[in-house]
Amino acid sequence: MPLFTSRHVLDQLPLIPLRASSVSTLHSAAAYRTELLQHIAGARHRIYLCSLYLQHDEAGAEILAALHAAKALRPALDIRVLVDWHRAQRGLIGEAKQAGKQAGNAGWYQDQARSQATEVPIYGVPVQTRELFGVLHLKGFVIDDLVIYSGASLNNVYLHKQDKYRHDRYLLLHNKVLADSMVQFIREHILGAAAVHKLDTPHIPSTRSMRREIHEFREQLKRARYDVLSSSPNTPQLSVTPLVGVGKNNPLNRVICQLLAASQEQITICTPYFNFPLAVTREINRALKRGVNIDIIVGDKTANDFYIPPEQNFKVIGALPYLYETNLRRFAKAHQAELGTQLNLHLWKDGDNTYHLKGLWVDRHIMLLTGNNLNPRAFRLDLENALLIQDPEQELAVQRQEELRHIFQHTRPIAHYSAIEKTSDYPAAVRRLLGRLSRTRMDRLAYRVL
């Protein structure tokens, strides 16, 4: 029985044929960093890196130095780095500004551009006029005909440069059609936009001066699609489809919901921030009623990148892991009857390391890799993309099982909702803030934009 019928929009998606031998899955941030650096060093034609940010730290400097070295070795190499416009021009959350230095990474990009003999252009992409209302969340690096796809950004923790890591998903696909489509999207829909500017030059326009251009850019992005000219007919075979979307009810959102709606046997969901959009929650509830078994893997609140240990000074942003955990407890309580049988909740925790996995596995035939957090912000505000892999003959079954094994090894199951801390268990500063947010209903706004 085919997984999808003609009733599903998935039948209309273009398919890029894949060979199983051209797909490989990595299982650690350290391996990802090693692989990325090796492929940058060996690049012959093009390097396109698209990331939320390239951080001014040891790992970021290592990546940028590798790009300059590759350019020096092959001057004709086409290199483009794209980062979020707003994120590049501010410091880390909670980090004090250093006197005499430009805040954020843009100042570092400019210093590097002045000091290097080679040119590695770094572009700032403004998806919205304010970071709070939308960022560049596209994922995927193209090096020649290789696509390296991960939700990870470029800094110490994502690349496990020092003692801690942030766990993500890491997939390598050697496929010229896919690589060409991703590069074409960047060239046609991003680099040519009037709102997009290089950040490694001393004269960067202000966001305020570009408000009209940014609004026009966002409207254009809503209509943008990956152009897959060489796709095969929609026949059962191992294939990949690149997807992109921004704003409410975009094509990527619709495919995510269609995947959940089409499930017959099993769904596995990874998300670091437990805050499903209503459309996703609705499809999960419907799948449970159909008898589908569902595993949801979410980070323990202490494995959240915003978590602040109680012994440290509390900041408002530190309330987010508790908000997500409150959501998780409410969800678990509502589904207590299915919990531990048809529905399995798993909390990921590995020492002081953090968790950043996103994606779906459906009925052993489908895998979705994405930077989409499956939350209201991703469904409405950020520019997101994904790779949908259809594997009707289960040629990638061993890789799929091995990836999930590595993820599950640091999880513990939640058999009863009472095993999840409640608000009264939280530190006093957190309780006070959550109380104020609830009384003013600001918690509802926080769930939508954070």
Catalytic residues: 137, 168, 356, 384
CA 374 to chain centre: 10
Helix, coil or strand: residue 413: strand
* β-bridge mates for residue 122, sequence order: 81
How many beta carbons lie within 10 A of that of residue 328, not counting itself?
22
Helix, coil or strand: residue 415: coil
CA 422 to chain centre: 28
CA-CA distance, 73 to 228, in Å (whole number)?
Answer: 32
For residue 296, give the nearest of 404, 378, 399, 403 by alpha carbon. Answer: 404
* β-bridge mates for residue 359, sequence order: 270
For residue 363, give the nearest of 251, 248, 265 by alpha carbon. Answer: 265
Distances, alpha carbon 416 to alpha carbons 131, 297, 421, in Å: 38, 15, 11
For residue 360, give the nearest of 10, 49, 7 by alpha carbon. Answer: 10
- Ramachandran region, residue 378 (left: φ > 0; alpha: ψ -120 to 50; beta: rest): alpha
For residue 120, give the nearest of 91, 154, 87 by alpha carbon. Answer: 154
CA-CA distance, 233 to 229, in Å (whole number)?
Answer: 11
CA-CA distance, 363 to 118, in Å (whole number)?
Answer: 48
User: Which runs of consecutive H residues, i.e. helices, occur in 81-203?
Assistant: 106-115, 176-185
